[in-house]
Amino acid sequence: MTAIRKLLGGPIVALFLRPLRAIVARLALPSLLHGVRLDGETPDGRAIHIDLLRAELYHGIALGGEPGESGRVIVAGRAAAHPVTLRLKGRALYVRCEGSGKAASLNARRLQAYRHERVSHGDWLCLEGSVLRLTFY
């Protein structure tokens, strides 16, 4: 019995389970932000553009702190089923779907801010229609 537990908990099995977990995670939460470009402005009126066209979605990242104001993400020309709150923390963009009980994070390597604007650590990205506002906590 101990030998079986060691075998199932070993590094070889872990190599096979990682891709399987990634597939299950992608199936568990729809890619809400696939193909989305966000144009908006900062609270002081500066224009900002964020491109999420190639963002990768990961499931199971819990969010802490206050959610801020939530808006709706426009996905392929229509509104998402639930209001969505975004937060950038380090190199990850965290997403929470209000009312659905689901959360995720996006790989922010492809996240781009143009016109010399930078999205800072811990900034909340609040969507209201097609307008992106950065609110600071």
Q: Tell me the per-residue pLDDT of 37-86, one tens digit each, with 9 for 90 and over.
A: 555 454 455 554 554 433 333 332 222 233 333 333 333 233 344 455 55
Question: Is residue 85 within 8 Å of 70, Cβ to Cβ?
Answer: yes
When pLDDT is cut at 50, 70 and 90, the band that residue 99 belongs to is low
Q: Does the structure show a pLDDT above 60 at 15? A: yes
- Give me the pLDDT at residue 33, please: 44
Mean pLDDT, the chain, whole residue set: 45
Q: Judge whether 16 lies within some domain.
A: no
Q: Judge whether 76 lies within some domain.
A: yes
The edge-to-edge listing of strands for the beta sheet with 92-97 is 56-59, 102-107, 92-97, 84-89, 124-128, 131-135
Distances (CA, A) of 27 to 8, 32, 57, 69: 24, 12, 10, 28
- Give me the pLDDT at residue 50, please: 52
% of the chain beyond a pLDDT of 90: 0
Q: Judge whether 2 lies within some domain.
A: no
Q: Judge whether 93 lies within some domain.
A: yes
Q: Judge whether 27 lies within some domain.
A: no
Q: Judge whether 6 lies within some domain.
A: no
Domain housing 102: 34-136
Strongest mean pLDDT among 26-30, 58-62, 83-87, 118-122: 83-87
Look up the pTM and report it: 0.29
Q: Does the structure show a pLDDT above 50 at 120? A: no
71: domain CATH number is 2.60.200.20
Q: Judge whether 47 lies within some domain.
A: yes
Detail the DSSP E strand segments found in 52-121: 56-59, 74-75, 78-79, 84-89, 92-97, 102-107, 112-113
- Angle at Cα 25 formed by Cα 17 and Cα 93, nearest 5°? 120
Amino acid identity at 128: E
- Angle at Cα 80 formed by Cα 24 and Cα 125, nearest 5°? 90
- Give me the pLDDT at residue 80, please: 40
Question: How many domains, in total, are found in the chain?
Answer: 1
Q: Judge whether 113 lies within some domain.
A: yes
